[in-house]
Structure 1
């Protein structure tokens, strides 16, 4: 079959790498892709939200399946666009329709969904500009620290952890009255702060049955020792030692099954991935958030641990027979180290020539923020490359990924050398 991946990051590079290995894949297209995805398929310079451009490509190249990488086209309704179009309606899209994508697109929607279906999550209240005064009063009674979340998509920047009442009230006012995050913070969820260790759990579903993919842990802070500003993710590890069979049974029974059943009960069609961001608090799973797509950089680690045919699983989602498909997961450890641009996550350097990727010994280099400039591969994004290896144990995997990252050079490059140290 001919397959189209929408997206341009490390997640889409990992998808492309895995899909290209499948005997079911005849031709692979990535829109828009990056400098690294060209080794797995054909890049097409179309934005992920250019639905008419995507339609033209799908018809021209006789695409049989579309895999949506990032959340924005899903929240904007790319799946609904296909279903409403006479020429596209029979071409399967892996990724939920707009209603299901609200699990990520609206924090308030997802919290209400969890509350309704008894899924363990932190206590919360939602406020708007009109109820700002109520929000300020509520903060005075809420325990500290407290979490403020912009309701809509804010490019990963809409979550604030406030340590003092003054900070919380100032930030809530900035979000609601001054539109700190634009339309995304026209509603703000004020949430109880949970303590523990975070974990990312990934589920594929055809709307009825589901498969649990390898879990992962990602590292958001720019600095070693989990210090400094939040980023899109500086690395990831899979499997996660504390997520043993007993813990994952709790996750399945208390979170995954109620989520799939809740969507069905609410009449919300859902074909695609559900990314469940969990907090492991004293051995108990609490849901921090849902995402309607796979995580990045977790996908880079997760894809390397799936030993079965990924296209077969995607077909199961598309055709509604996922329960008949086999998933084989490697017992080995995958480690991903993300190399970022100088200055990231603030104003960062661009257009720097990347050298040394051919010196990497036992890892795969997944491209993220890269492009071709003549014969040179150059940096274009904040997160530039994801170096991923698979080894027998966590220490060897971390050592190898870090060593291989050190073999690559571009001006201003930076990566954390302590990814996964907390798990050793």
Structure 2
């Protein structure tokens, strides 16, 4: 099979590595890829939302499957584009169509979907610029902290949590009136704050059947102790002990099954990943958000634990035979530490030479914001690398991850030193 992977981050690097292991993978391309994917596959200078360019390339190279990494092409309707053309619809797309992608493309749509299908989630209300004053009045009915979410895509940075009413009112004004997140915050969803422990659950579905991937916990804030600005993710751990069998049974019966059934009831033929952001509130699961692709950096902690052939799993979805696919998960623990450019998630410099990559021994190095310049690997994004350690338990996995992270350096490197420490503290209780 000839495979094209869309995206350039750490998630896409993992897809590249896992698919390249398959005996059925003949030729593998990544668009646009990064310095790491270039060592495994062939990078292609295509924008993931350039559907015509992707279509032309796919026909020329006789592509059999396109694996869509990021959300933007899905929300923009890449699946619909391919299915509408007779010479393109035979290409299997891993990712939902535009209707299903609205679960991530619109927070309001997702909340309405949950409400309609009795899926547990926080109370909410949606406001636009003309209803700003009503939004401020609604905030005054809630208890702090306050959760404000841009309705549309904002690169993982459209959620603002405010500790006091004054800051919440100011943030709502900035989002609606001052268009802080541009088009994404034309609408803002205000949610009740849920107090609990957050985790991510990943589901792969062919529209009829589904497989539940390992759960993970990610670390979104830039600062240690979960302080500072939200980022795309500073680390992840899989599995998480507080998501035990009893809790996951509740997740499946109260959230996953109603989600799959709800998509069918709404006549949405959903094929691809569903990333369910959850809060464990006193042992009960509540949905914080849906994403319509794998998470990043959770992918770097989840997929290394998959022992089965990923490409074979994807192929089984084409004929809605996912239930028959081999799906073996390792009992090991994986811990991922994300290395970022100084200044991220705000302004940062690019082009810094990365050293020490070959010195990492007992951990996996996943490239994200990297490129090649004058035969050297340099930084080209905010989240530059993810280092994943694997071990029999969390302590060993973290030790391996940080030993690897300590070998890598560039001017102005930064990473959190406390990934997983909260979970180790829970183990000690």
TM tier, smaller? over 0.9
2:195 is aligned with 1:195 = yes
Paired residues of 1:94 and 1:318 also in contact (CA < 8 A): no
- In structure 2, the partner of 1:90 is 90
2:171 is aligned with 1:171 = yes
2:128 is aligned with 1:128 = yes
Measure, in 2, the Cα distance between the counterparts of 1:227 and 1:136.
Answer: 25
Deviation at 1:389, TM superposition (A): 2.0
Deviation at 1:130, TM superposition (A): 2.3
Question: How many equivalent residue pairs?
Answer: 424
Paired residues of 1:204 and 1:317 also in contact (CA < 8 A): no
- In structure 1, the partner of 2:180 is 180
SS in 1 for 2:412: coil
Structure 1 residues 313-328: aligned runs within 5 Å: 313-328=313-328
Deviation at 1:3, TM superposition (A): 0.7
2:4 is aligned with 1:4 = yes
Deviation at 1:178, TM superposition (A): 2.2
Deviation at 1:284, TM superposition (A): 0.9
- In structure 2, the partner of 1:341 is 341
Measure, in 2, the Cα distance between the counterparts of 1:201 and 1:237.
Answer: 12
SS in 1 for 2:38: helix
Measure, in 1, the Cα distance between the counterparts of 2:230 and 2:133.
Answer: 29
SS in 1 for 2:173: helix
- In structure 1, the partner of 2:427 is none
> More displaced, 1-10 or 314-323?
314-323
SS in 2 for 1:167: helix
Paired residues of 2:368 and 2:386 also in contact (CA < 8 A): yes
Deviation at 1:177, TM superposition (A): 2.1
Structure 1 residue ranges without an equivalent (≥5): none
Structure 1 residues 58-137: aligned runs within 5 Å: 58-137=58-137
Measure, in 2, the Cα distance between the counterparts of 1:131 and 1:223.
Answer: 34
Q: Give the alignment's TM-score, normalised by structure 1.
A: 0.98
Structure 1 residues 250-399: aligned runs within 5 Å: 250-399=250-399
2:231 is aligned with 1:231 = yes
SS in 2 for 1:202: strand
Deviation at 1:55, TM superposition (A): 0.7
Paired residues of 1:146 and 1:161 also in contact (CA < 8 A): yes
Measure, in 2, the Cα distance between the counterparts of 1:223 and 1:176.
Answer: 27
Deviations 1:61-95 (A, max 9, x none): 11101100000010011111101122101111010
Over 4 Å off, 4+ runs: none
Measure, in 1, the Cα distance between the counterparts of 2:171 and 2:337.
Answer: 33
SS in 1 for 2:79: helix
SS in 1 for 2:413: coil
Deviation at 1:6, TM superposition (A): 0.2
Q: Give the alignment's TM-score, normalised by structure 2.
A: 0.97
Paired residues of 2:157 and 2:232 also in contact (CA < 8 A): no
Aligned CA-pair RMSD: 1.0
- In structure 2, the partner of 1:140 is 140
